[in-house]
Chain A
Amino acid sequence: MNWNSAADFFAMGGYGTYVWGAYAVTLACMVAEPVLVARRHRQARRELGGAPR
């Protein structure tokens, strides 16, 4: 293991802002996109009168 403590891990050797800034935006995008695309698919099914799924 590379880190001595959780605080050490989150500090990222002083680069925490940059590293977590990159990871947070990536996570937000890759969570938002599947949610939006599933909503679009549900909407398409609803307009065909099918069960929302």
Chain B
Amino acid sequence: MSTTLRFFRFASPAAFYPLAGKLVPWFSGVAAILAAIGLYLGMLRAPTDATQGDAYRIIFIHVPAAWMSMLLYVVMAFWAAIGWAFNARLASIVARAIAPTGAMFTFLALWSGALWGKPTWGAWWVWDARLTSELILLFLYAGYIALVSAIDDTRRADRAGALLAVVGSVNVPIIYFSVIWWNTLHQGASVSVTAAPKMASVMLLAMLLMTLAFWAYAFAVIFVRTRAIALERDNHAAWANDAVARAPVRQGASS
């Protein structure tokens, strides 16, 4: 019981602000190290693909970006719903902090996909199920960001955004299963829990390291944005003034 209470202490922006500040450098460091190893393996050590040549090397950013775009949407909808259901302010702040990063990964998945599609399919874009549902994901992120910033009453905006995010989450399984449900140009999953991976182990390792790097990057950026939004919202609260006054002056540090 007491452990639960201590855990929920961090549901307050005042307690979460310093905690997030301590975690950001660690996540940034882990992201940089994993990306360096992943890129070394993927770009220098992994062999050229027999059918796709070196164009396949886009996979090391395409698949991690696409996975993160879906994962971040689910996490955003989850925290938006928690913020709505339990009137938890920090949860709503976290949901808002996730949206721009999720939108960026969705854009990167589409962009890297277009640059991969041109040499392998002969088209930058096709209106097939996987690509179209991923584009809808980008519009859902954009719609969420536009909606929460269009409503002046902060908590009303949070609730409206939560409704959009939760309803839109039906799109995530559609993206994931689109390659099974529809006849599509996009290839099926290369990695699954139930079957052996359909790729060389060094390629798989590089892709998984890049995914973990993107994941750590997302934590770092989202935590800084959460801190920023918490200060913006609570700029009359005593904790915010204390947090700013107490922190040591470190010129040039970026967190």
Q: Which residues of A contact B (CB under 8 A)?
A: 1-3, 9, 12-15, 18-19, 21-23, 25-26, 29-30, 33-35, 37-38, 40-41, 43-45, 47-53
Give Cα A39 to B184, complex, Å: 42
Please give, as numbers and ranges, the residues of chain A lying within 8 Å of B247 by CB-CB distance: 50-51, 53
When A13-B54, A19-B54 are in contact, do A45 and B231 touch as well, CB less than 8 Å?
Answer: yes
Q: Are B244 and A15 in contact (CB under 8 A)?
A: no
Restricting to B208-255, which residues have a CB under 8 Å from any CB of A?
217, 220-221, 224-225, 227-228, 231-232, 235, 240-241, 243-245, 247-251, 253-255
The interface on chain B, measured as residues whose beta carbon lies within 8 A of the other chain's beta carbons, has a size of 49
Contact of A48 (CB < 8 Å), options: B101, B235, B253: B235
When A19-B54, A48-B241 are in contact, do A26 and B112 touch as well, CB less than 8 Å?
Answer: yes
When A2-B46, A18-B115, A18-B119 are in contact, do A41 and B108 touch as well, CB less than 8 Å?
Answer: no
Chain B, residue nearest A45 (CB): B244
- Does B53 make an interface contact (CB < 8 A)? yes
CB distance from B157 to the nearest CB of A (A): 18
Please give, as numbers and ranges, the residues of chain B lying within 8 Å of A41 by CB-CB distance: 224-225, 227-228, 231, 255
Chain A, residue nearest B47 (CB): A2
Contact of B58 (CB < 8 Å), options: A14, A18, A43, A48: A18
Q: Are A51 and B249 in contact (CB under 8 A)?
A: yes
Give Cα A29 to B103, complex, Å: 11
Contact of B104 (CB < 8 Å), options: A13, A33, A48: A33
